[in-house]
């Protein structure tokens, strides 16, 4: 009996559903999740998919590929929406809108665990005592703001341990970017006033600060304290510089995110501008992965719920397009923030102007990206033609090794495709084989490729995903290509093209030779764009492998023998090093001496002693 699929299969599920809110999942023949959706009424929502016609091309394709479904009922539609977003983030279904670039945003922290507050950049959980300001669009925006704040308010950015160990002012004091509280050049009361001014600035209350500084400068000049008057003048200049670089300073919007969406040719760009304290704290563009022919309101709702999944929403969110369900979206965001969050689509006034500006940025950013993608597509087409590939490659994997005399050996893999370098898919391989002779590049490459393709064969034997490469580029000549060809043949993978890039005569750029299994080597014209493209690919793989090797080498240099002892964590290691002075001294210590260390029990002392004095 033939198993039902598509709308006929979905129709059979309707008998088991009622009108409860919940979440449904559509799965393909291998059990991979195609789509996750939520519904106020599961039966009514799923019945739409049971119709044999009337769907967009994207939905029709998704229904056709559906071989089974899963359902979870919830108490409310809000719970269903939250569960839907959690599952999308976890499962990354092919047909859902997916926010791909979701890095954390930095904040400015005025840390107050010390008598003299420290101002610094902060990422992650807000667990440290103090006041947080942000988010900023980038680390660069935070660094620029911190530099200007130091010039204006002279606050320290050193760690507490550095602060306590100072005996004379540091360079920042000399260049007038710190008031040197560490050596008593300013009282705690006066320093506290500077901290208060800095926080007022971060809250957008800059006019009062400038007026106060101007009054102080006038008094100092009147009292003929010209050096102090000049210092105050410099601080006013620095404050003016901070304000001048703020491109958008809305008077009527104190705290909001402006979110604008532009869609074109099946692609989307979302621009987010951050307004805090009536000041613009930068913007970031995002390019969500679309499943097909989504509407703008569907993309906007998916973006908002994924974007604010791990960051607190502001009091207002100004949108260019409404989400599918504005009330429900606002309710979920308010629940996450623990207070009321307004989701607005302004039609006039200053807020409308802010959204219009963000929308223009989104349109221009998507235009640039599409232009770059078109150029990248032409290069990939040229690559396919130059190497006589059966089709234009969509995923190119480039491999390189790095080591010094065989030590700290690592292999690196970088990936390129129609959107350029896919850095999230780069991989590093610590060479583990004990039988590999130091410096044996063939042996290292064999281990790297065996591990890479063994895993691919295990996770996706039917090649249903885009994880399989269309071309392998290897740094090396005929010998490396032949070895790689043999490795893949042993694994039963014989249909992936392999090209070796050898440096050619005098190892010069532009004189590279290309090697393919069983064929004569050849070269490309010196001015061929494909040649430059291959050089970029190879250089990126080399950079990645070298960087990974350096990091591994630095880690090995900093390694401590105590790290190898089970049960010795950071606290016990500190206690041993503080007591004996070095790991070497710990290794030479007798059992009674080890037992005398605070926090080291008799059993732990015996374990440490046995580690360094193994019994025959």
**pLDDT tier for residue 440 given thresholds of 50, 70 and 90:** low
**pTM score over 0.85:** no
Select the more confidently predicted residue: 242 or 512. Answer: 512
Q: How confident is the model at residue 545 (pLDDT cuts 50, 70, 90)?
A: confident
How far is residue 342's CA from residue 193's CA, in Å, rounded to a whole number?
Answer: 35
Q: Contact at 8 Å (CB) between 432 and 410?
A: no
Alpha helix stretches (DSSP H) within 460-564: 478-491, 529-557
Query: What was the pLDDT predicted at 248?
Result: 54
Residue-level pLDDT at 236: 75
The Cβ of residue 562 has, within 10 Å, a number of other Cβ atoms equal to: 19
Residue 506 carries which DSSP code? G
* Domains 6-91 and 255-367 in one fold: no
539: left (phi over 0), alpha (psi -120 to 50) or beta: alpha
Helices 6-13/57-65 angle, 10° precision: 70
Annotated domain spans of the chain? 6-91, 255-367, 396-546, 561-612
Q: Specify the residue for token string 């490659």.
A: 393
Per-residue confidence at 588, pLDDT binned at 50, 70, 90?
A: confident
Helix segments in 341-399, DSSP class H: 349-386
Q: State the pLDDT at residue 194.
A: 87
> Which residues, at least 6 apart from 95, have a Cβ–Cβ distance to it below 8 Å?
26, 34, 35, 58, 62, 291, 292
pLDDT beyond 80 at 36: yes
Q: Class of the 561-612 domain? A: mainly alpha
For domain 6-91, is the CATH number 3.30.450.40?
no
Q: pLDDT confidence of 505, banded at 50, 70, 90?
A: low
Do residues 105 and 137 make contact, with C-beta atoms less than 8 angstroms apart? yes
Quick one: tokens of 283? 């913007």
Adjacent-strand bridge partners of 316: 256, 342
The yes-or-no verdict on residue 554 having pLDDT over 70 is no
Lowest mean pLDDT among 183-197, 328-342, 457-471, 504-518: 504-518
pLDDT of residue 246 exceeding 60? no
pLDDT at 553: 64
Cα angle at 73 between 72 and 75, to 5 degrees? 145
Strand pairing category for 420-421 and 267-276: unpaired
Strand, coil or helix: 433: coil
- What's the token pair of residue 132? 């947080």
Instruction: Report CA dihedral (412, 413, 416, 420) to the nearest 10 degrees.
Output: -40
The pLDDT of residue 116 is: 92
**Rg for the chain (alpha carbons), in Å?**
31
**Which CATH code for domain 255-367?**
3.30.420.340
Note the pLDDT tens digit of each residue in 253-285.
888 999 999 998 888 999 999 888 878 888 888
CA atoms within 13 A on the CB side of 297: 7
pLDDT score recorded for residue 404: 58
What does CATH list as the number for 396-546? 3.30.420.340
As a whole number of angstroms, the distance between CA 405 and CA 438 comes to 6
CB count within 10 Å of CB 418 equals: 15
pLDDT tens sequence across 412-439: 899 999 888 888 889 888 877 666 666 6
pLDDT at residue 506 greater than cutoff 60? no
Q: Is the pLDDT of residue 171 over 60?
A: yes
User: Is the model more confident about 561 or about 534?
Assistant: 534
The Cα–Cα gap between 537 and 383 comes to: 11
Question: What pLDDT is attached to residue 1?
Answer: 44
| Average pLDDT taken over every residue of the chain | 84
**Is the predicted pLDDT of residue 318 greater than 70, yes or no?**
yes
Residue-level pLDDT at 208:
67
pLDDT at 247: 45
């Amino acid at each position: 009996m033939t198993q039902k699929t598509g709308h006929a299969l979905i129709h059979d599920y309707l008998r088991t559903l009622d009108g409860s809110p919940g979440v449904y999942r559509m799965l393909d023949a291998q059990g991979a999740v195609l789509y996750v959706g939520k519904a106020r009424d599961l039966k009514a929502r799923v019945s739409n998919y049971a119709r044999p016609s009337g769907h967009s091309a994207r939905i029709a394709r998704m229904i056709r590929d559906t071989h089974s479904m899963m359902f979870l009922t919830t108490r409310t539609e809000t719970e269903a929406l939250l569960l839907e977003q959690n599952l999308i983030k976890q499962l990354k279904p092919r047909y859902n809108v997916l926010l791909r670039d979701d890095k954390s945003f930095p904040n400015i922290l005025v840390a107050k665990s010390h008598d003299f507050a420290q101002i610094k950049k902060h990422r992650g959980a807000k667990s440290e005592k103090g006041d947080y300001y942000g988010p900023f669009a980038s680390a660069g925006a935070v660094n620029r703001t911190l530099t200007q704040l130091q010039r204006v308010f002279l606050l320290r950015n050193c760690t507490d341990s550095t602060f306590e160990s100072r005996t004379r002012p540091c360079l920042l004091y000399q260049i007038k970017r710190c008031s040197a509280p560490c050596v008593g050049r300013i009282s705690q009361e006066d320093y506290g006033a500077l901290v208060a001014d800095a926080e007022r600035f971060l809250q957008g209350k800059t006019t009062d600060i400038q007026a106060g500084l101007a009054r102080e400068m006038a008094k100092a000049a009147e009292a003929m304290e010209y050096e102090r008057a000049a210092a105050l003048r410099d601080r006013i200049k620095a404050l003016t510089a901070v304000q001048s670089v703020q491109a958008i300073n809305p008077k009527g919007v104190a705290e909001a995110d402006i979110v604008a969406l532009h869609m074109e040719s099946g692609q989307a760009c979302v621009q987010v501008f951050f307004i805090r304290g009536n000041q613009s704290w930068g913007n970031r563009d995002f390019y969500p992965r679309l499943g097909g022919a989504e509407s703008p309101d569907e993309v906007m709702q998916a973006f908002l719920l994924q974007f604010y999944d791990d960051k607190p929403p502001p009091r207002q969110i100004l949108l260019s397009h409404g989400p599918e369900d504005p009330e429900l979206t606002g309710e979920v965001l308010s629940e996450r923030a623990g207070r009321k969050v307004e989701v607005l689509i302004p039609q006039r006034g200053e807020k409308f102007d802010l959204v219009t500006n963000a929308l223009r940025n989104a349109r221009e950013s998507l235009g640039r990206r599409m232009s770059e993608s078109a150029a990248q597509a032409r290069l990939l087409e040229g690559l396919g033609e130059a190497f006589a590939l059966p089709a234009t490659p969509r995923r190119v994997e480039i491999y390189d090794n790095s080591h010094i005399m065989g030590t700290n050996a690592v292999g690196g893999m970088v990936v390129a495709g129609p959107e350029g370098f896919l850095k999230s898919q780069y991989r590093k391989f610590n060479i583990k084989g004990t039988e590999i002779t130091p410096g044996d590049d063939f042996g290292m490459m064999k281990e790297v490729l065996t591990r890479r393709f063994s895993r691919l064969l295990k996770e996706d034997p039917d090649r249903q995903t885009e994880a399989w490469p269309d071309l392998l580029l290897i740094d090396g000549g005929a010998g490396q290509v032949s070895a790689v060809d043999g490795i893949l043949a042993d694994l039963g993978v014989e249909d992936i093209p392999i090209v070796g890039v050898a440096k050619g005569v005098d190892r010069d750029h532009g004189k590279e030779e290309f090697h393919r299994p069983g064929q004569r080597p050849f070269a490309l014209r010196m001015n061929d764009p494909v040649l430059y493209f291959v050089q970029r690919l190879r250089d990126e793989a080399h950079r990645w492998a070298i960087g990974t090797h350096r990091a591994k080498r630095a880690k090995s240099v900093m390694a401590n023998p105590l790290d190898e002892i089970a049960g010795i964590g950071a606290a016990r290691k500190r206690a041993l090093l503080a007591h004996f002075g070095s790991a070497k001294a710990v290794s030479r210590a007798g059992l009674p001496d080890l037992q005398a260390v605070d926090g080291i029990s008799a059993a732990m002392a015996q374990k440490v002693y046995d580690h360094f004095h193994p019994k025959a």
